[in-house]
Amino acid sequence: MTVVLLHGNPETPAIWAPLLAELGRSDVTTPQLPGFGCEVPQGFGATKEEYADWLAGVLAGIVAEHGPIDFVGHDWGGGIGMRVVSQRPELFRTWACDVLGLFHPDYVWHDFAQIWQTPGAGEEYFANTLATPVADRAALLAAIGIPEPTATVLAEAGDELMGRCVLALYRSAAQPAMNDWGAHLGPAATVPGLAIIAPNDPFVSGEDLGAKVADHMGASRHVLEGQGHWWMLGDPVAGAAMLHQFWNEAY
């Protein structure tokens, strides 16, 4: 059995380090989204469908060796992951996702996403970001909930390639694109699922829209009281306990 933890934006697998320590398992892998602190495959355009195809390939390789996985997706890792669950449910033993609200028909992209989805404004955003010293970028990440030292690690990983990938990814996901993904989630309901709800997350409408999507799919829900978007950094002890409980109850 293998646990797969997939990060999102603007992140690398570094976000999982505190949670990994609390999980206490040796069968965990943390893939790295192409372009997020690493290179991209030849011809990779960084659209949401290309990321889903990439992930399906990664997971198929793991499953061929170890069997179906327990998947945990955060931010875009959750969005991309749920697309693959809906397309290839046989790869998964369980899934857990903290962004189910993205798939609700009423979801509206947050302000940052709308900037990135706007030609010109998105390019200007990343040009200004890259012109900012790493220490200042880390301080901005800390201000939105990413504690040190992870904030500095992520600020150092942010480069021109990551910016290009973020723009391509979010522009491919402009509505109604996520509504369409949500309309095809049905097969994911055949796999035991968990909606991770962090009440202080301002980006994904978890308590409202995410809960509705979870209920529609027959998934479990777990509220991480007092936590925001980066719950795995804010309270890794509670995050690990939540996952252990879910896995124990699922099988």
Give the pLDDT of residue 1. Answer: 75
On the question of a cis peptide bond just before residue 31, with omega within 30 degrees of 0, the verdict is no
The answer to whether residues 193 and 217 touch, using CB atoms and an 8 Å cutoff, is: yes
Q: Determine the longest span between alpha carbons in the chain, in angstroms.
A: 50
- pLDDT per residue over 124-154, tens digit each? 999 999 999 999 999 999 999 999 999 999 9
Task: State residue 99 phi and psi, 5-degree precision.
Answer: -130, 35
Q: What is the CATH superfamily name and number for domain 2-108+176-250? A: Alpha/Beta hydrolase fold, catalytic domain (3.40.50.1820)
Task: State residue 19 phi and psi, 5-degree precision.
Answer: -70, -40
In 3-state terms, what secondary structure has residue 95? strand
Q: How confident is the model at residue 251 (pLDDT cuts 50, 70, 90)?
A: confident
User: Is the pLDDT confidence value at 249 over 90?
Assistant: yes
- Provide the residue ranges of all domains of the chain, joining segments of one domain with +: 2-108+176-250
Q: What are the distances in angstroms from CA 10 to CA 32, 33, 66, 71, 174?
A: 12, 10, 30, 20, 18
Averaged pLDDT, 157-173: 98
Number of H helices, E strands in the chain: 12, 6
Does the reported pTM lie above 0.95?
yes
Tokens at 22, concatenated: 């609390």
Tokens at 6, concatenated: 């997939």
- pLDDT per residue over 28-46, tens digit each? 999 999 999 999 999 999 9
